Amino acid sequence: MNQQTLQSMKHMKLTGMHTLYESVLDLPVDKQPSSHQLIAQLIDAEYQYRQDKRMTMYLRLSKMRYAATMVDVKCSAQRNLSTESLTPFMDSAYISRAENIAITGATGCGKSYLGCAMGHQACVNGNRTMYLNMNRFIEQITLAKVDGTIIKWMNRIAKTHLLILDDFGLQQLSQQIKLILLQIMEDRYAKHSTIICSQLPVNKWYEYLDEPTLADAILDRFLHKVHRFDLKGKSMRTKEI
């Protein structure tokens, strides 16, 4: 009877339940949980298994540049970054509130790493996340327009809980890219969150976009509800000799 139950769990793809029930059956009878305890443990095991599976899938699909976690982020006064300033973002509640994050600072100061750590935490908390540096962002737009999948691609971005745009400001954007960026910001406004990492301070973004009307439209949607991290200090890539 027990083997039949295990086979049924396996057939129904209840992997978490199957694994736990197998381990319970290996216990001496006097050590096995009561029926009520067992039901609760089986449900909890299946829930946890599915949560972990979803997190693994979200992490894989996010294609983040660094395998960073919030615990790995180095905080110090010299970096203008504290553990207290990061704590409110651990539960990813800002995503449910559709709030954005701007991470700025000089090259090598850890902007991308912090962005990826936040992206990792978002995946852990069950949020679909997409990481794109601006080179890849432009490349994907170009390819999607060529093969006719641009609308499908933009719809996918629109539904992503957290979008991370890295290296913002390193290259000039064409009129077409700016218009698509505007549409993306419009689609995501008040629905989902975006993180932008840039060497340029936020007050230079208008000048970078180099078109007042479009710059206002794009940045108004991003900066309306934004948290700012302005990282300081020497390059984290500098190796001690």
Q: Output 236 or 186, whichever has higher pLDDT.
A: 186
> What confidence score (pLDDT) does residue 213 get?
94
> What confidence score (pLDDT) does residue 10 get?
87
**Which of 26-35, 86-95, 149-158 is least confident?**
26-35
Average pLDDT of 10-36?
90
3.30.1510.10, 3.30.56.10, 3.40.50.2300, 3.40.50.300: CATH of 63-230:
3.40.50.300
Does the structure show a pLDDT above 50 at 240? no
> What confidence score (pLDDT) does residue 241 get?
37
Does the structure show a pLDDT above 90 at 236? no
Does the structure show a pLDDT above 80 at 237? no
| Residue 196, CA distances (Å) to 90, 137, 158, 177, 227 in order | 18, 12, 16, 16, 11
192: confidence class by pLDDT, cuts 50, 70, 90: very high
> What confidence score (pLDDT) does residue 48 get?
87
User: What residues does each domain of the chain span?
Assistant: 2-61, 63-230
107-149 residue pLDDT tens: 999 999 999 999 999 999 999 999 999 999 999 999 999 999 9
Q: What percent of the chain has pLDDT over 70?
A: 98
Q: Are 126 and 51 contacting, i.e. CB atoms less than 8 angstroms apart?
A: yes
| Residue 63, CA distances (Å) to 83, 123, 132, 199 in order | 26, 12, 8, 21
Average pLDDT of 147-154?
95
**Nearest C-alpha neighbor of 22 from the set 40, 36, 42:** 42
Q: What is the β-pairing status of strands 226-230 and 193-198?
A: unpaired
Tokens at 184, concatenated: 């993306």
